[in-house]
């Protein structure tokens, strides 16, 4: 069974938001239309406590978009974004949400970041998404949302490692940085993930 996974379609990743992805809002109508073709739709939500370790503001003397070692992983330091219960953390108002069956929140641990919807960046804790999808009988996952080379890419890598098939819907995502996204695309294909455009999906035959 196919499931559509919406990654972080939140105000802070939209133009004007705290961590804006260029043209991020252009994917919203594409995602709304896509949902009609799926039996199961789920979403993730970046959901940080104030003072989260991924925020540059939490590290004295560090600048936004600088990289530091956090635990065992390289951590990009972001502007404060998707703080729990703020407008920036809400889904884009244009997003159709009535068909979203479950929302998986991530990045809630103050000490560690979580790009993937499945695990934190050190793979210490699961969000429960993998078990949920398996219990529902989903085997083929389709990914859209923001940002393409971070949370979408990391979610796809984990999905493939969990034994799902994974397809990136390329017109339903946007990247912070095109050259990083290009590397991510190559890696997705190398891992046997697929990349398609929404127009190529032809489920109704
Ligand atoms: C994201 C950076 C920090 C994302 C989340 O949704 O891609 N990127 N937090
Ligand atoms: Zn975040």
- Per-residue pLDDT 10s for the chain (205 aa) are 999 999 999 999 999 999 999 999 999 999 999 999 999 999 999 999 999 999 999 999 999 999 999 988 999 999 999 999 999 999 999 999 999 999 999 999 999 999 999 999 999 999 999 999 999 999 999 999 999 999 999 999 999 999 999 999 999 999 999 999 999 999 999 999 999 999 999 776 4
ipTM computed for the complex? 0.98
Could you tell which of 49, 115, 117, 181 is best to mutate to test the pocket of ligand 1, judged by most ligand atoms within 8 Å of the CB? 115
Asked if residue 195 has a cis previous peptide bond (ω within 30° of 0), the answer is no
Q: Rounded to whole angstroms, how far apart are CA atoms 86 and 84?
A: 6
pLDDT of amino acid 203? 79
Quick check: CB of 150 below 6 Å from ligand 1? Answer: yes
Q: Is-catalytic flag, 8?
A: yes
Mutate to test the pocket of ligand 1, among 80, 81, 107, 118 (most ligand atoms within 8 A of CB): 81
Ligand 1, residue 154: give the atom nearest the CA.
7
- Burial degree of 57 (CB within 10 A; 0-12, 13-18, 19+): middle
151 Cβ closer than 6 Å to some ligand 1 atom: yes
Q: What's the pLDDT score for residue 65? A: 97
- Give the distance from CA 40 to its chain's centroid: 17
């Amino acid at each position: 069974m196919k499931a559509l996974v919406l990654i972080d379609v939140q105000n802070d990743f939209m133009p004007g938001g705290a961590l804006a992805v260029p043209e991020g809002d252009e994917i919203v109508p594409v995602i709304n239309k896509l949902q009609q073709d799926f039996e199961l739709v789920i979403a993730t939500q970046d959901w940080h406590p104030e003072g989260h370790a991924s925020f540059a503001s939490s590290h004295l003397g560090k600048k936004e978009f600088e990289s530091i070692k956090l635990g065992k992983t390289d951590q990009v330091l972001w502007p404060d974004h998707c703080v729990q219960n703020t407008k920036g953390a809400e889904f884009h108002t244009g997003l159709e949400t009535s068909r979203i069956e479950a929302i998986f929140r991530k990045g809630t641990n103050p000490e560690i970041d979580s790009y993937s919807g499945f695990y934190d960046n050190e793979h210490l804790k699961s969000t429960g998404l993998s078990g949920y999808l398996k219990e529902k009988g989903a085997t083929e996952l389709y990914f859209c949302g923001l940002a393409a080379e971070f949370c979408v890419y990391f979610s796809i890598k984990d999905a493939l490692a969990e034994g799902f098939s994974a397809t990136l819907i390329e017109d339903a995502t946007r990247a912070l940085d095109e050259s990083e996204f290009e590397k991510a695309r190559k890696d997705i294909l190398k891992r046997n993930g697929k990349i398609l455009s929404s127009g190529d999906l032809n489920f109704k035959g």
